[in-house]
Each structure stands twice: as structure tokens, then as C-alpha cells.
Amino acid sequence: MNQDLFVVAVINIVIGIIVLLAGYKLNKALISLCGFIFGYKLLESIVSNMDLTNGIVIALSIVGGIIFATFSFKLYLFGIFIAIFLAVFSICEMTIAIDNLKFIISIVVGIIAGILGIKFTKPIFIIMTSLSGGFLIVNYLLQLFNLNSWIVFFIFGIVISMIGMKVQFNTNKN
């Protein structure tokens, strides 16, 4: 593994640990970040098909990200929906083995989880941040050790996620 990939892996593992153990406490920051990512990717997918330079595509995508981050922060429930949708969508994309249906299943499950997240904000947010952090950690640990096992990824992802859930539920009792 080259040095750049090592640095990316270590940074993502640290981010995973923070999200795993303190996701609910950081909910407003995470909601804004997810809003930014969603808006950035949405505008990038729209404007990248236009006849624009790469710099303009990036600038417009950043503006879209800022707009969605602002909406996500100001409109808390919208932000909860976006954050949970993105977390569940990402987990589905990493874990579903059916290539031709992966995207559709990920969107449907993400929407359902986002709606449930609005109704049951605290427990769903804790569960989703624990799962996101746990699977992020395992994904990059496997890359660091050059391992490629779906079963190891899934089992360790669940175990680490459960530890994160236990910590977050215990530290966010009120």
C-alpha cells in the first residue's frame, strides 16, 4: 500500500471511530456535512453533463453543497432524513452483493430509513452513526491489511457497530 492510501485509510479510520462513538453528540455537524455531500453530488451529477469546464463544475457543486448543508442545518428534520438516507445508502452499497439491483435497493432502503429517522430521531441516528462508523473502520482496516473478505467485513462491521451503539446509548440516556 502506498503512503497516500495509508494516510487516507488512517484518516477514515479516525473519522469512523468518532462517528461510531459520538455520532449522536455530533448530529448537527454530521447533518450539515451530509447535506453538503448530498448537495455537492446532486449538483455535480447535473452540471457534469453540461458543456462546462471542470473548475466551473466543481464551483457549482460546492455551491449546491453549501445550499444543502444550510438547509440541512436549518431544517433539522430534512437534515435527519438526508443524513440517515446517506448512511443507509452507503452501507447498502458496501454490503449488498446483487450488482444489478444494488443501487435501487440502496435508494429504497435509504428512503425508508430516512423516514423512520424523522419519526424516531435519537435511536435511529445512534444506530445509523454506529453502523456507518463501524463499517467505515472495518472497510479501511481491511484495506490496510490487504484483506478482501465480505464475511470478515460484515461480521466485524456488525460487532464494532454494536459496541458503538452500546457506548452511544449509554452516553446519551437523557
Q: State the Cα–Cα distance between residues 48 and 164, nearest whole angstrom.
A: 38
Query: In terms of DSSP H, where are the helices of 96-149?
Result: 102-119, 121-144
Confidence of residue 121 (pLDDT cuts 50, 70, 90): confident
Between the two ends of the chain, the Cα-to-Cα distance in Å is 44
The string of pLDDT tens digits covering residues 127-137 is 988 998 999 99
In this predicted structure, the answer to whether residue 28 has a pLDDT above a threshold of 90 is no
| pLDDT for residue 51 is more than 90 | no
- Average confidence (pLDDT) over 100-121: 89
Identify the pLDDT of residue 101: 84
What residues contact residue 87 under an 8 Å CB cut-off, 6+ apart? 34, 113, 128, 129, 131, 132
What is the value of pTM for the model shown?
0.69
- How confident is the model at residue 133, as a pLDDT? 93
Report percent pLDDT > 90 for the chain: 45
What is the chain's mean pLDDT, rounded?
Answer: 89
pLDDT digits (tens, 9 = 90+) for 61-109: 999 999 999 888 788 788 788 888 888 888 888 777 777 888 899 999 9
pLDDT at residue 1 tops 70: no
Instruction: Determine what percent of the chain is predicted with pLDDT higher than 70.
Output: 99
Of 143, 130, 135, the residue nearest 10 (C-alpha): 143
**What CA–CA distance (Å, rounded) separates 110 from 91?**
9
